Amino acid sequence: MAYYAIKGGEDAIRNSLHFYKDKIENSNNLEEEKIINSLGFAIDKILSEGSLYSKKLASQAIKRSAGDLLNAAFFLRAHRSSCQRIGICKPLDVNNMKIKRRISSSFKDIEGGQILGASNDYEIKLLIEQESLEYNYENYSDKTNIIKSALTPLREDGLVKVLKEEEEPWDITRSFPLAPYPRSALMQMMSRGESGSMLGFAYTSMRGYGDVHPTIGDLRVGSLDINFTHPFSNKEVKIGEIEATSVECVGTFNKDEDDEVKLTTGFGFCFGENETKAISMSILDLTLYNNTYSVGTENIIASDFEMIMQHIDGIESFGFANHYKLPHYVTFQTDFQIFKSAKKYAQEEKE
């Protein structure tokens, strides 16, 4: 009888977990090292969305979720909550990135040159086997390859609108701000936002719901040193390196606070190699803070701070969507009673 079926939760969960364990048995047998080396983009996506930089834990998470990457990022976030914070590293400057790839679509010729690096942007996407191409290239070392952003000359000439700097950046993992949200909080939210959600919102502003048509001023992928003040010696020490993607995009021009006409830019940054996400983030940043040129529509979803701040987190949105699988029989029963009495009232009014 159904009533007792509801009470069988304990057994049901145990069995369900058991079946799931069988289902992911093959994934669990994969070697972590192999996942890290072979499914790099999957690792990078969940590092970024899980906001925890550990490739080893990320590969475990992928195994435990059999490739469901939203679930995998959720594993990382949950793990994060049990880690005590030791301290805060020195600010990172993306100009100091050891570059593996760096392109600019705003300029043909840039200082340091265009570095395509490893990319399949120009591959003809056919699943049939293609003959391998011959290649020759100059050797370069990413250890020393440090180039300033392609927008640096424009910035030095004072042509780029500069947003007001915050005294102390917000930390959304320690306190969640109320509206109006500081930019640092929004940037953090986006930096660990879900790639697909961000792409979706950014796409609305590129298409009919806004008019942000940016060019990529500087897109770079590479590694950054993490420096930390040693608690005992008080000296600055390097404690590791992270791979990251950063994007500066350029929008239209606009008047700044001093009434000067300046070029507007947006910034995107995230852990790992996530170019689509970083580009989307830079477009959202641009749309949020430089949204005065819209002609087509007043309904610019991506320039609404609430819309971005509250709706791009993968862990939150996927969790809430899935909670509909939980029992709702009490709430539904209340709905149903109200529905019946409203229907009756409307019927009587008609008569």
The residues that touch another protein, with contacts defined as CB under 8 A, are 1-3, 6-10, 12-13, 74, 77-78, 80-85, 172-180, 306, 310, 315-323, 326-331, 333-335, 337-339, 341-342, 345-346
Are 270 and 244 within 8 A, CB to CB?
yes
CB of 185 to another protein, least distance (A): 11
Angstrom distance (rounded) from CA 102 to CA 142:
11
- Indicate the residue among 231 and 327 with the shorter CB distance to another protein: 327
Angstrom distance (rounded) from CA 227 to CA 109:
33
φ, ψ of residue 128 in degrees (nearest 5): -70, 150
- Indicate the residue among 74 and 267 with the shorter CB distance to another protein: 74
Angstrom distance (rounded) from CA 159 to CA 171:
30
> Which pair of structure tokens corresponds to residue 214?
């940016």
The rounded Cα 18 to chain-centroid distance in angstroms is 33
Check the CA dihedral 304-307-310-311 and report its sign: negative
- Indicate the residue among 115 and 172 with the shorter CB distance to another protein: 172
Residues 284, 148, 206: CA angle, nearest 5 degrees: 20
Residues 6+ apart with CB under 8 A from 299: 209
CB of 318 to another protein, least distance (A): 7
- Indicate the residue among 208 and 319 with the shorter CB distance to another protein: 319
- Indicate the residue among 1 and 133 with the shorter CB distance to another protein: 1
Angstrom distance (rounded) from CA 43 to CA 55:
7
